[in-house]
Amino acid sequence: MDRLRLLLVSTPVGPLGSGLGGGVELTLLNLGQELRRRGHDVTILAPAGSVLGDLPVVGVSGPLQPTAHTQGRDTPIVLHQDGVLGRMWDTARQHQDAYDLIVNFAYDWLPFYLTPFFQTPVAHFVTMGSLSDAMDGAVRQVADQFPGRLGAYTRTQAETFGCGAAFKILSSAIDLSCYQFCPTPGQAVAWLGRISPEKALEDALAATEMAQIPLKILGKLEDEAYWQSLGQRFPQAADSYLGFLPTQALQAIVGQCRALVMTPRWVEAFGNVAIEALACGVPVIAYDRGGPAEIVRSGTTGWLVPPDDIAALAEALTRIEALDRVACRQQAETEYSLPALGDRFEAWFQAMLGTSPPMAEPRP
Ligand code: HBI
């Protein structure tokens, strides 16, 4: 594939490296590094203060965008008049001639709406499932006007928008060299993720209490009130919390665990934490919902249990020894390596640029 000049535009909810961007931070880091390794020219456009490995980042200042994942279906579009979201996309507009392709990673209305306003093709990697009617409308507009310009982590996630066939399914990946296989775990199981209601940490606390298995909690403490309420119900929660750790420290702790417990209350678009665990040889016990349901091979690299069924989760925790830690690492190497990710994204870019549709006229 010939060398592309790529602009990857980040989430406006926080600087890269703050953890506020959740899984999309890891996706951007891994994708950016892999595309550059393949010889493409990669530039990241992100809120001021962003750091992403050694990738070149253009920082844009301005008030951050409120997060979408805690809002309801009828939430109206919110846009600061001089916010970082508008300013990032004005920067992209000004410099678009320097790029062959612009890929948006923000889960926000504006970049989808602006797609026909750009001469340089704009593609969208959608990082969450359907959350609001306004965003669904923006996504469907691009599906209609620019077929082929939508990417997603998983089929389940894409289907939540009602136009799943319009998406290229790209899955995710991690740098496997950062994760060590651990054949002999200790007693505890792990829970990883943003501590926020839609991740339902309470179910993991309840199930491990029932199964009498120690739990290690890691991740960004995003919703303080929610954490306090958990502490009231589960006194052991505070001692189980090990903080938001960089990958090296995180994988050392997770690798020692017998399993990762995933309790998504919402349709998790992917669940990077699942492939981080698999890379360490750690099986995943998860609700049969969203991304984790497309990752876990139930019975081999984990168990899928009926969603929101805490008793089933506790029961699955008693069957961890039946799972195969070597198979977990092998699945990560086959499906979730950086070369596999690079192949999928290059195929998507080729499909868009090789036969990019004529510039559609914006609807009157
Ligand atoms: N909210 N408004 C908004 N925009 C985003 O890009 C965004 C978000 N909430 C969460 C989020 N991105 C990421 O954590 C997920 O994309 C992974």
What's the confidence (pLDDT) of residue 357?
A: 43
- Going from the C-alpha of 336 to that of each of 22, 124, 131, 184, the distances in angstroms are 18, 21, 26, 23
Measuring from atom 7 of ligand 1, which residue has the nearest CA? 107
Distance 247 CA to ligand 1 centre (A): 20
Pocket probe for ligand 1: among 26, 30, 69, the residue whose CB has the most ligand atoms within 8 Å is: 69
Pocket probe for ligand 1: among 67, 78, 108, the residue whose CB has the most ligand atoms within 8 Å is: 67
Domain with CATH 3.40.50.2000 in the chain: 5-173+337-352, 176-335
What's the confidence (pLDDT) of residue 360?
A: 45
From first to last of its 364 residues, the chain has per-residue pLDDT tens of: 899 999 999 999 999 998 788 789 989 999 999 999 999 999 999 999 999 999 999 999 999 999 987 778 999 999 999 999 999 999 999 999 999 999 999 999 999 999 999 999 999 999 999 999 999 999 999 999 999 999 999 999 999 999 999 999 999 999 999 999 999 999 999 999 989 998 999 999 999 999 999 999 999 898 999 999 999 999 999 999 999 999 999 999 999 999 999 999 988 889 889 999 999 999 999 999 999 999 999 999 999 999 999 999 999 999 999 999 999 999 999 999 999 999 999 999 999 998 544 444 444 4
Distance 25 CA to ligand 1 centre (A): 10
What's the confidence (pLDDT) of residue 266?
A: 84
What's the confidence (pLDDT) of residue 32?
A: 97
- Give the pocket of ligand 1 (CB within 6 Å): 11-13, 21-24, 65, 67-69, 106-108, 127-128
Distance 26 CA to ligand 1 centre (A): 13
Beta carbons of 208 and 189 less than 8 angstroms apart: yes
Atom of ligand 1 nearest to the CA of 11: 6
Distance 5 CA to ligand 1 centre (A): 25
Going by C-alpha positions, the residue among 158, 171, 148 that lies closest to residue 128 is 158
Atom of ligand 1 nearest to the CA of 68: 1
CATH class of 5-173+337-352: alpha beta
Report the distance separating Cα 294 and Cα 62, nearest Å: 38
Fold topology of 176-335: Rossmann fold (3.40.50)
- DSSP, collapsed to helix, strand or coil, labels residue 267 as coil
What's the confidence (pLDDT) of residue 198?
A: 87
Cβ neighbours for 281, distance < 8 A, ≥ 6 positions apart:
181, 182, 183, 255, 325, 326, 328, 329
Beta carbons of 78 and 135 less than 8 angstroms apart: no
